[in-house]
Structure 1
Amino acid sequence: MTTSAPPTSAPLERDARLVSTDHRVDPSEIAVGVVIGRASEYFDFFVYGIASVLVFPKVFFPFAPDPLTATLYSFAIFALAFVARPIGSVIFMAIDRRHGRGVKLTIALFLLGGSTAAVSFLPGYAEIGAWAIYLLAGLRVAQGLALGGAWDGLASLLALNAPRERRGWYAMIPQLGAPVGFMVASALFSFFLVNLTQEDFLDWGWRFPFYCAFAINVVALFARLRLVATEEFARLMELRRLEPVPVAELLRHHAREVLIGAFVPLASFALFHLVTIFPISWITLFTDRNAGEFLIVQFSGAIIGAGAIGASGLVADQIGRRRTLLLSASLIGGFALASVVAPLIFGESAIGQTMYVTIGFALLGLSYGQTAGAVTSRLGTRYRYTGAALTSDLAWLFGAGFAPLVALWLSSQYGLACVGLYLLSGAVCTLAALALDRSEMRQM
């Protein structure tokens, strides 16, 4: 027996569902699909971020007067994806409305995996000159556009269908993709750094993690399409009215909520890069510590961060998401102040650097675990799907996009204490946004 697809489905979407009508979507399957999808996105993200420190300054900016300037150039290219990401959301929401969510997701993930894998084939500046930089920048923009289109609504669907008393727990599940993606990326780079000579690593070793990106994204695509291309998923999405709307219409009705939503996670997103990408640059440029060894320290920190993300769900279910975000932002502010008062905690001491990474990842997990769509509960159900995507894009742009560039420049010019002040500004923005929004944030 077959069932007919909803009349609003695009033809390609209906064709995909014809082979999946007997499958029923279980909450545990949604959770697994969300984690796999997010992990693949973050793997691409961190592979590029780590290479921005260890590879690109030497391969694409050898003409820079010093390694610091070359790394700053590399971080400027790194930021392009965050500028392109909101544009990607606008473009792919239009594709979603016209052709369906499955088509949008397929295009976005093939673009993400393809553009990441294509970086591995790029010749360096020594071979084709400035064209190498232009191609790298173009692929980075493509990554950003694809990330804007990778929003599938699974995270919101998971939270909306969670028991009321466990919404904090279900809200943190999608965030587990970040530490998983970082662990895989850092382990790959660490392996090649430790086992290859510097010449071999810069010649071919760094390219292998980029090769892996396409295969990982294909696996993630099928895991997510297995849920998206079902009648049950369509029914649940339409029941919750998780459908794309034009961004202009969203902003016309909910511009204030979108802006506040972009600032609520600012402390977490600023810390995100200050414990992942920025420390690698500082270690590489200003200490004698081996980068491969430090990546293993960060790998261990990511495990702690994953545990803290899980703990954030338990805490949020006890005291509420808003109070959890207030608590985590306050703790991040305290951590930032400690970094200002005692900047040498992340100076030459290996023990201090390890403490910084460990504490930073723990605080990141506690805060990041509850940031997903933190204020989209105030949006009407009609606007929640698009609103969650756009607020996330803007939060990444404001909080994380330029964080490695700004932090490295400030620390090189004025010392590490300025990094603490930068992080403190993010914590203040989060606390101010939470003061403006006093909802309990019970849903995504």
Structure 2
Amino acid sequence: MSSAMQQSLGPSSSSMERDARRIHDDTPVSAGNIAIGVVIGRAAEFFDFFVYGIASVVVFPQLFFPFAPDRLTATLYSFAIFSLAFVARPVGSLVFMAIDRTYGRGVKLTIALFLLGGSTASIAFLPGYATLGAWSIVLLAVFRLGQGFALGGAWDGLASLLALNAPQHHRGWYAMIPQLGAPLGFMLASALFAYFLVSISKADFLAWGWRYPFFVAFAINVVALFTRLRLVMTKEFGTLLDLHELQAAPVTEVLRANGGNVLVGAFVPLASFALFHLVTVFPLSWVEIYTDHGASSFLMVQFLGAVCGILAIIASGLIADRIGRRNHLGICAVLIAIFSFVAPMLLQAGATGRDVFVIVGFTILGLSFGQAAGAVASRFGKAYRYTGAALTSDLSWLIGAGFAPLVALGLTSRFGLAFAGYYLLSGALCTILALVFSKKLEIDNE
């Protein structure tokens, strides 16, 4: 790396962080501790994400959009605000990268996670439209933007730290570990909402029951913050920062050197990210609007689906190490393409069909999602990995998942369920094309 590039990266950490790492010099961190910290951090982020996602179906249409002519329209309004977080996330990444370079990773994480938890907890205090009128919607949108903005700053580099400690022939296994946080976060969120839906009356649930998961989200974020800070303050993390392997490189430098990788990389996990919402948030909304399958019972089926997703994520690590991540992602994209034709039929096949849709959908999602983040991070060399992976992930989530519930529900309401399948198929085709145009997903990082 040139001296000019090193200077452009700025200081590797704040003086307080360097002092903290000296304290930990004699306490080496194991791969197991890194893995636990990564999973806890990701689970906390996805718990926030799914708490809002579930509430956007079972609470917000009634609480914030009672003026809508029907439940469908109210849910579409709710999904429009749901999408704002994905728009704000890339902006948050840019701002927090600058904070990282100036004040250090610990300061950045502290601000980001308190903003994330604070935005989530603030939603719990929001009065509905009946009390505040349009201002309740404005505030909901502001707090949703705050969630997305903060999530852009929650990118900590711990997954890359874990990958850098991975043996050569076990990179798929180590890449899947951070992805376990998504189904764990969903399981906790769905269980909490299901519990309140069945334990209290509908009036009490809309008055106060739905607010409890949002309070829990703040507490979980505090625990996750201290877990992640402990790892960020270790000697191993500091060494990699000093070597610029986990440094927040300027965005302009990354785009100049790896603009093509960012663009192509954003489309590689698109099938997985599109399926992500089409087996979690979207089917819950479709069930609520068009069937008599109650939200609480469907959430518990999704809970079981998430268990299958965990097993599939673990399997993805074993499979990717055997056949290669590129081949694995290609096969998963084909499976998602096939599922896109089957899914509409299953959703219309009664309660049993919907249960099969959830179980099969989560299983395919786990197989694909388990290697999605690894595919993004592996495209960049050491000097650009941290920033490059963050930008690519933000762009992929925005394109593939940000508007998925809104678009899928809008298409199905107008043209039928088959068009939700076509939407998913487009994501699978994008992934396949990106794999074709990508000559080398996994670069030599030595």
TM class by shorter chain equals: over 0.9
Work out whether residues 88 and 144 of structure 1, in 8 Å CA contact, stay in contact via their aligned partners in 2: yes
The Cα shift of 1:377 comes to: 2.9
Aligned to 1:3: none
**Cα distance in 2 for residues equivalent to 1:17 and 1:215:** 26
Residue 226 (structure 1) aligned with residue 230 (structure 2): yes
Q: Which one is further off, 89-98 or 370-379?
A: 370-379
- Which AA in structure 1 matches 2:409? L
Secondary structure in 1 matching 2:375: coil
Q: Deviations over 1:146-205 (max 9, x none)?
A: 110001101011112200110000000000000000000000000000111110000000
**Cα distance in 2 for residues equivalent to 1:20 and 1:218:** 21
- Which AA in structure 1 matches 2:329? L
Work out which of the residue numbers 148, 160, 169 in structure 2 matches 1:144.
148
Aligned to 1:106: 110
The Cα shift of 1:7 comes to: 7.1
**Cα distance in 1 for residues equivalent to 2:245 and 2:299:** 43
**Cα distance in 1 for residues equivalent to 2:26 and 2:224:** 21
Work out which of the residue numbers 272, 284, 289 in structure 2 matches 1:268.
272
Aligned to 1:391: 392
Aligned to 1:441: 442
**Cα distance in 1 for residues equivalent to 2:162 and 2:244:** 11
**Cα distance in 1 for residues equivalent to 2:59 and 2:417:** 24
Aligned to 1:356: 357
**Cα distance in 2 for residues equivalent to 1:26 and 1:8:** 22
Aligned to 1:333: 337
**Cα distance in 2 for residues equivalent to 1:323 and 1:7:** 39
Distance 1:277 1:8, change over 3 A: closer
- Which AA in structure 2 matches 1:111? L
Match runs of 1:25-424 below 5 Å: 25-239=29-243, 241-339=245-343, 343-347=344-348, 349-424=350-425
Residue 430 (structure 1) aligned with residue 434 (structure 2): no
TM-score by structure 2 length? 0.95
Unaligned runs of 5+ in 1: 1-5
Work out whether residues 77 and 140 of structure 1, in 8 Å CA contact, stay in contact via their aligned partners in 2: yes
**Cα distance in 1 for residues equivalent to 2:211 and 2:20:** 35
Work out whether residues 12 and 103 of structure 1, in 8 Å CA contact, stay in contact via their aligned partners in 2: no
Identity over aligned pairs, percent: 66
Distance 1:375 1:147, change over 3 A: closer
- Which AA in structure 2 matches 1:241? E
Q: Deviations over 1:109-151 (max 9, x none)?
A: 1111111011000011100111100100000000001110001
Distance 1:348 1:287, change over 3 A: farther
Work out whether residues 167 and 442 of structure 1, in 8 Å CA contact, stay in contact via their aligned partners in 2: no
**Cα distance in 1 for residues equivalent to 2:46 and 2:300:** 18
**Cα distance in 2 for residues equivalent to 1:367 and 1:400:** 14
Q: Which one is further off, 190-199 or 21-30?
A: 21-30
- Which AA in structure 1 matches 2:352? I
**Cα distance in 1 for residues equivalent to 2:130 and 2:444:** 52
Q: Deviations over 1:391-418 (max 9, x none)?
A: 1111100000000000001111111011
- Which AA in structure 1 matches 2:174? Y
Work out whether residues 13 and 103 of structure 1, in 8 Å CA contact, stay in contact via their aligned partners in 2: no
Q: Deviations over 1:295-350 (max 9, x none)?
A: 000000000000000000000000000000001001000111223xxx33102500
Work out whether residues 373 and 392 of structure 1, in 8 Å CA contact, stay in contact via their aligned partners in 2: no
**Cα distance in 1 for residues equivalent to 2:11 and 2:64:** 51
Q: Deviations over 1:21-64 (max 9, x none)?
A: 33211111110000000000000000000000000001011111
**Cα distance in 1 for residues equivalent to 2:174 and 2:379:** 18
**Cα distance in 1 for residues equivalent to 2:77 and 2:162:** 40
Aligned to 1:22: 26
Secondary structure in 2 matching 1:288: coil
Secondary structure in 1 matching 2:208: helix
Aligned to 2:3: none
**Cα distance in 2 for residues equivalent to 1:356 and 1:8:** 47
Work out whether residues 124 and 211 of structure 2, in 8 Å CA contact, stay in contact via their aligned partners in 1: yes
- Which AA in structure 2 matches 1:23? T
State the 4+ residue runs in structure 1 displaced beyond 4 angstroms: none
Distance 1:7 1:274, change over 3 A: closer
The Cα shift of 1:440 comes to: 4.7
Unaligned runs of 5+ in 2: 1-9
Work out whether residues 260 and 433 of structure 1, in 8 Å CA contact, stay in contact via their aligned partners in 2: yes
The Cα shift of 1:373 comes to: 4.2
- Which AA in structure 1 matches 2:381? G
**How large is the Cα RMSD of the aligned pairs?**
1.5
Secondary structure in 1 matching 2:371: coil
Q: How many residues align?
A: 436
TM-score by structure 1 length? 0.96
